[in-house]
Structure 1
């Protein structure tokens, strides 16, 4: 057993998803390779962290059914040790060159002797064995997800979306929870409005606009911190229909004004505004 195969077993062990046979293989490999214990410990810590604080609630039946249906339609392959199918790329590969005859081989014209089983495996078949492991890993991942979600219940359905939230939304939450959180709103020429949210203590600012018109592919909106020594670019963003949330990159200084200009795609080539700002929001 190699290290990647052990890592798969260790992940399944940490989730309680191994069969009795795989559990035996896992323990035997760990005993034979104590240097792999760090892998097992990391997986166990991760599983414990995911389970910590999760509410024990039965998941909706549709969740289990959907995962099982996904597993059912995923192509499966035999174990690599049990005559694996040949991958498509290996089937199209040229035949490997035959090995030179040993010194005691029969002379030319004699009937060929039996081929030893270990010599009958070509490099192509070895590659197929590696390729056949890919579906097994996918099946393992899907099964592990099923075990994890069923084990954590609805808590996982709550935690995972939180980890996938846009960075600007996460930054806005941090600002709103800061002790010095502040905001200011101005009207847009298009009839909408834009609100700057900031916190000087954490040095972060976010602009939330409603009704900001989307631009064509040749232009973009660019954010700026405007301070005593001039404007400092804070990144570009694209407006979406409805509400757009954009985080200003870089660190905000106390007293900075927040501005937005229309620039060419990719942002100002000079590092300075090339047009008059369409939004200016003072923070002092």
Structure 2
């Protein structure tokens, strides 16, 4: 078995797509060529990473037979009865049969075509996973944090109403250490102003970040530092936030957390 043939089997093994015979051939090749272990490890790591990005779905038991049937239909020159069978002997005049080699000098049986299909599935999965990761990282920080909070076992929320605007809800989780304010419509302010968040703790007001309203709904991630019993406040400040680290206007929203 060549290293290329092993790589095809390794892709199929990572996806659990090998027959019993191919699985034995795969293990024997791995024992005979321990230097190929890195190929198998890389495919296994890729498959594991993909599994962690999607919910578990058991493939239909007939999917292997369906793939093999399609391979047979697409490759009428291949007549091997099982995936583990060795490739047929080529022409004896020193030249490879172009129907089996595609001009590359290598014969393909059903094993090769099936493992190639598994490899393509693996590669497609990598592409899909990349898209998922890119989509997730392109989301606003407030949305990403809100999704994490909502999935936490200690997720909590409290609501209030913005003066001159709509409803607002604070979501937080102590275990995750994050808090997100979700607001409806906010009052109009000038370009030289911004909304600033505060942790109101007794007589102290601790800056918790600034945000701009975006349409009918805004998700603002608060800076770390929330403590039990804090009241979350929002004021209108000059662009960039309060110059002295304290509210310069009366709050347009307060939400007690206890």
Which structure 2 residues correspond to residues 116-195 of structure 1 after superposition, within 5 A? 150-152=124-126, 154=128, 156-195=130-169
2:202 corresponds in structure 1 to 228
Distance 1:264 1:173 in 2: 30
Matched with 1:207 is: 181
What RMSD over aligned residues (CA atoms) do the two structures have, in Å? Answer: 3.7
Tell me if the contact between 2:165 and 2:187 (Cα under 8 Å) persists in the aligned partners.
Answer: no
The answer to whether the 8 A contact 1:203-1:253 is kept is no
For the residue of structure 2 that corresponds to 1:170, the secondary structure is helix
Residues 213 and 49 (structure 1 numbering): CA distance in 2 closer, same or farther, change over 3 Å?
farther
Taking the TM superposition and a 5 Å limit, the aligned residue runs for 1:65-80 are none
1:206 is paired with a residue of what secondary structure? strand
Please list the CA deviations of residues 127-170 of structure 1 after superposition, one character each: whole Å capped at 9, or x if unmatched.
xxxxxxxxxxxxxxxxxxx9986354655544432232221112
* Counterpart selection for 1:243 from 217, 240, 246: 217
Q: Is the 8 A contact 1:149 1:156 kept in 2?
A: no
| Cα-to-partner distance string for 1:176-227 (whole Å, 9 max, x where unaligned) | 2222222122222334111111223433211000111343220000000011
**Matched residue, 1:22:** none
SS at match of 2:240: coil
For the 8 Å contact 2:136–2:144, the answer to whether it is kept is no
Query: Is the 2:234–2:252 contact (alpha carbons within 8 Å) kept by the matching residues of 1?
Result: yes
CA 1:158–1:263 in 2, change beyond 3 Å: closer, same or farther? same
CA pair 184-274 structure 1, distance change in 2 beyond 3 A: same
| Equivalent pairs, count | 163
Q: Distance in 1 between matches of 2:244 and 2:224?
A: 18
Structure 1: 5+ residue runs without aligned partners? 1-15, 17-39, 57-145
Distance 1:251 1:44, change over 3 A: farther
Deviation at 1:251, TM superposition (A): 1.7
Q: Which runs of 5+ in 2 are unaligned?
A: 1-10, 12-38, 60-119
Q: Does 1:282 align with 2:247?
A: no
SS of match in other structure, 1:258: strand
CA distance in 2 between counterparts of 1:160 and 1:45 reads: 22
Residue 260 in 1 paired to residue 231 in 2?
no
